[in-house]
Amino acid sequence: MKTKLCFATNNAHKLEEIQAILGDSFELLSLKDIHCSEELPETGDTLEANSLQKAQYLYDHYQVNCFADDSGLEVHALGGEPGVDSAHYAGPQRSHADNVNLLLKNLSDKNDRSAQFRTVITLIQNGKISQFEGIIKGQIITDLRGSAGFGYDPIFVPEGYTATFAEMSLTEKGKISHRARAFGKLVAFLD
């Protein structure tokens, strides 16, 4: 029998990608599949707290085994900011361009431009909580480069590379990204 597991997303692409890795023994359910249409709570001040909050909400309200992810960009010279606030760094309108511009402005007088993208996934299976972390380290450049990807991709060059995330193909980014690394650990655990 297939093990049902809800992934706290309605992004069909994300769901398909993880379903393909997990194979036939798991049936991934989206939020829509479990008839969850409300916004999941995300009021924590760390990625760990937010992904746990989302997974716990689903587990408590929908009685499903589930997992939720949360990601952010952590910039060393800014004490880890924008971190958990990455999506709305420049304000509640959640504009990627505004966020990128504010980050470049805040970094303009700093020599240390090191940063990392980090993802935390929280899995809850029969009440048991497990967390998985994925990190990719790199540098924030001074100007935007590339048009692929989203968010902070045009200003992030991963360690060991010269291209920004926005200059890489989805496949290339998908091999090294914070998200890929965290999901790799989740899949290894579930297998």
Active-site annotation, residues: 70
CB of 4 to ligand IMP, least distance (A): 23
Residue 164 as a binder of ligand IMP (CB under 6 A): the answer is no
Site for ligand IMP in 81-140 (CB under 6 A): 86-87, 99, 117
Strands (E) across 30-113 are located at 66-75
CB of 159 to ligand IMP, least distance (A): 15
Q: Which is nearer to ligand IMP, 65 or 86 (CB)?
A: 86
- Distance between CA atoms of 172 and 174, rounded to whole angstroms? 5
Distances (CA, A) of 161 to 139, 144, 157, 164: 10, 16, 7, 8
**Count of residues in contact with ligand IMP, rule CB under 6 A:** 15
Q: Which is nearer to ligand IMP, 4 or 102 (CB)?
A: 102
CB of 99 to ligand IMP, least distance (A): 6
For residue 88, give both structure tokens. 């709305």
Q: Give the strands of the sheet with 66-75, arranged side by side.
A: 26-29, 3-7, 66-75, 114-125, 128-140, 156-158
Tell me the residue number closest to ligand IMP, measured at CB: 151
Q: Which of 72, 134, 138, 158 binds ligand IMP (CB under 6 A)?
A: 72
Give the HSE-up count for residue 20: Cα atoms under 13 Å, Cβ half-sphere: 6
Instruction: Give the contacts of 8 (CB within 8 A, at least 6 positions apart).
Output: 31, 40, 54, 55, 58, 66, 67, 68, 69
Identify which of 149, 142, 152, 74 has the alpha carbon closest to the alpha carbon of residue 114. 74
Q: Which of 152, 157, 164, 183 binds ligand IMP (CB under 6 A)?
A: 152
Q: Which is nearer to ligand IMP, 72 or 181 (CB)?
A: 72
Q: Which is nearer to ligand IMP, 70 or 81 (CB)?
A: 70
- Footprint of ligand IMP (CB under 6 A): 70-73, 86-87, 99, 117, 149-153, 165, 177
